[in-house]
Structure 1
């Protein structure tokens, strides 16, 4: 499998989509940091780097969907996977080598995003204020959720023989996951008490009252489960530093990685590759 990995690493290193993704994360992070710095100086507010350290996670799912779908789709489009089987490589090694490569791409992009934010953000905002163990835990969750994304997209790419279909499906899934996390985050962020305007004899006043949109009971637990389980929900929580269950996020990511790889390997072993 080492030869497959070396070949994949050479391909991904020379991949235009991978290089453009690194540049895009650099531009995204720089824009977010300088925009926040402008707000801080304009309104004389104190902002910490912590809240911007993982901002790239908002878009990481979409970025990985493009890179991985193009990378795996090209293997089918050029007949590379068929040739690998013909020269004697096992299907398990082919699948796992692609997963390891895609996982490495996710790790590189996440580490790159953190390094860029530190390199630009520390001179502007100073060092992060969160405790070292808390930051380490968030970084671990970040790496795992990026690997989970890579595992999902790799499974789709390895089971779909059409490059165009792979790209379309991966990007569509990333967009659906993104908007699902936006909806879940918005629903869970509703305040329990709101100020409502009340009219008494033509005079308006504001009174506090229960928010009818506030989720309670089993419904809130279900929403929170999906927010914790979905990779996009995990990214939203980490990016906003609102992680309620940091260890649970890591466990869910590992479950996604295990299930998608086992299912993908099982189906790929039976797939008719023409």
Structure 2
């Protein structure tokens, strides 16, 4: 296979272009594809689908430390994961669209409702919205040291499958979570699970005497519901959850239709729109 016939893969993430996970992923995918990394310049975890519209973006190409040659192209964007994916699709690869867009490997899980906050998933969703094959990978581990070998092996296998398949659904993101400890090399198709975090607002005081706050919390627990991503990870299996960017709730719409909304009529004369003094 010549270089010209190799597929092109756009890679992004939310941990930043220099993160260990994206570097390992890009190197692994470079074994069988032309890989172009376009990722945030800084860590952008939990920024969801934020896109930068009120300020200009800058993009810089990077090489390996010491001037060594990388097996992939590497760009850093001073924006969000969505910005990076967008710049990769419509600037860096505008003349040669990628065959696949891959986000990750995230340093930590993206399970259950995490996908609503995840910049890793958001980068893949941006590609899916524009009709590209898209997948997001995360390593379910809470702290260093990070060992991405199994996650890279899983990503290589899954991405090769997506590239070879002719009927891959468009507009969907495959959210893949790889457990830190695999019980066996098994991928399980899952639904989003249920978990919760503790709620925390920590107040501190800056040197000028003004208060500032850190929000967050830690994992409070999850439900072992068979068929969900959390259950698959708890069993030591790789979880694969297909996600759609559409949020329409059909059953709830049917309920809403029974609430006599059609009988409501606006009567401006009954509204007091004057500002209260």
Instruction: Please confirm whether the aligned pair reaches a TM-score higher than 0.5, indicating the same fold.
Output: no
**Higher relative contact order (Cα pairs below 8 Å, separated by 6+ residues):** 1
Q: If each structure's helix is expressed as a fraction of its own residues, which one has the higher value?
A: 1
- Output the TM-score relative to the length of structure 1: 0.27
- Output the TM-score relative to the length of structure 2: 0.27
